[in-house]
Structure 1
Amino acid sequence: MAWLNRLKNGLQWLGLYMWLLSGTIILTINASWLYYFNVQWQHLGRLVNLSTGRLMVNYYQLLAYLNFPWVSKLKMSDFTDSTSALVHFADVKNLFLLDYAVFLITCVTTYYLWHRLKRDRQLWRFVLPMQTALWVPPLIAATMAVNFDQFFIFFHKVLFRNADWLFDPLFDRIIIVLPDTFFLQCFVLAFVILEWSFAYYLSVGKQALKDLT
């Protein structure tokens, strides 16, 4: 049964990575403060003749639809959406809910991994995996920095099965107040959170090594 133990161990480590990634996504998609900063900085409300407060109300309505399973219909006070836009937001909602499910499931596997390593005084095992993982966000960020538009298009083609994410501002005015620069900042925020998470677990591993000597 050694193979079963190896499989279980591998799944727990994979669960740790998925927990960190899904948690990072949750923190990023709910960073309404970042959107508020963009509303103020880019004067987004003026583009659609809305006050900052009114625009934020609409943004919170969008977030409520995307985040909560019991909100079954997207209704924003000052924006209407085409059929393709509604399909796209429904697809995004499904991805959000999938991310929450992954986070909750991997909370359990990560707990058991941490508990086992701490019990066996093997927290030092975090060192190598986290040292390796630390390189991933900078590499992706470097790729993104070369041509964000192409990266953004590739990102959508990977996640979505259709082209409904290509909004027409004449019919879907919401896209006017969701500029590319905001999404770029969301990616940067996610990279920072993920990099910090890897660095934290690396520090735990290094401290555990010191405690053994």
Structure 2
Amino acid sequence: MKKTMNLIFCIFFSLLIIGSSTMITVGFKQLYYFDINYLNISEQNNLTKEEIKINYDYMIDYNLNKISGEFDLPTIKSSPEGKVHFEEVKEIIQNVIKLLIVSLIITIIGIIANLKNNNIEFLNITSKLVIILPILVSIPMLINFDKTFVAFHELMFDNDYWIFDPSKDPVINILPQEFFFHAGLFIVMLILLSSVILHIIYKRYNNKR
């Protein structure tokens, strides 16, 4: 029973790391700011960098629930279907945040319980569990990002509103797939870094015992 409970705790610990890495990436606007120049987004859309930043910031703040009400970009028009899509994205992100809160509570309880019993094996287990996702996600991304991108959206959404018509939702023009590829890699890097840190802590602590 203890091993089963500890495994469940390690799974939630892993979910906390994965979810946190995702939310850090979502909130790390500088990654997109870098891509504005790197991917020549401004030149390709005849928009100033500042205007692009304002609209991107709005999208992020809306999804993080810093902005309430109907989705309405500052300077770029949106179709009814486009607005629904962003509302669905916001709902997904808010559900991720709720899962993070639950995972954080369970993780804190699990860490306290394990440390009281002088058990640090959870660090080793979690470091291995958390590395599985980056490997599984990276392989299809590197083989064929376009198909992976489409499959992800078909899995997450029960409609095709994510397939934007640039004439109705020109916002898609400032959100190239290359940016999402960079964001995916950034998430994977954060998860891998977390795994390495957990493993180092486990090794150092274990060597002192």
TM-score by length of structure 2 reads 0.92
- 8 Å CA contact 1:28, 1:186 repeated in 2: yes
Q: Is the 8 A contact 1:124 1:207 kept in 2?
A: no
Q: Name the counterpart of 2:143.
A: 146
In structure 2, relative to structure 1, the CA distance for the partners of 1:32 and 1:64 (3 Å cut) is: same
Deviation at 1:157, TM superposition (A): 1.1
- Structure 1: any 5+ residue segments left out of the alignment? none
For the pair 1:113 / 2:106, whether they are aligned, the reply is: no
Q: Where does residue 76 of structure 2 map in the other structure?
A: 79
1:180 aligns with 2:177: yes
Query: Contact 2:12–2:107 (CA<8 Å) still a contact in 1?
Result: yes
After the TM superposition, which of the residue ranges 67-76 and 105-114 deviates more from structure 2? 67-76
1:94-128 residue CA offsets vs partner (Å, 9 max, x unmatched):
01101111111211111111112222221133224
1:141-175 alpha-carbon deviations (Å, 9 max, x no partner): 12211110001111111111111100011111000
Deviates more, 1:113-122 or 1:152-161: 113-122
Which of 164, 169, 185 matches 1:167?
A: 164
SS of 1:88's equivalent?
Answer: helix
Aligned partner of 1:38 in structure 2 is 35
1:23 to 20, 25, 28: 20
Which has the higher mean CA deviation after the structures are superposed, 111-120 or 165-174? 111-120
Aligned to 1:122: 119
1:100 aligns with 2:107: no
Residue 72 of structure 2 contacts residue 78 of structure 2 at CA under 8 Å; is this kept in 1?
no
Conserved in 2, the CA contact under 8 Å of 1:58 and 1:77? Answer: yes
Change (3 A) 1:101 1:135: closer
**Kept in 1: contact 2:82–2:169 (CA 8 A):** yes
User: What TM-score, normalized by structure 1, do the two folds share?
Assistant: 0.91
Deviation at 1:43, TM superposition (A): 2.5
Q: Secondary structure at the match of 2:166?
A: coil
State the AA in 2 paired with 1:23.
S
Partner of 1:91: 88
Deviation at residue 179 of structure 1 after TM alignment: 0.1
Task: Find out whether 1:190 has 2:204 as its counterpart.
Answer: no
Q: Secondary structure at the match of 1:134?
A: helix
2:204 is the alignment partner of 1:210: no
The question of whether the paired residues in 2 share the 8 Å contact of 1:12 and 1:113 is answered with yes
Q: Structure 2, unaligned stretches of length 5 or more?
A: none
Instruction: Report how many residues are paired.
Output: 209
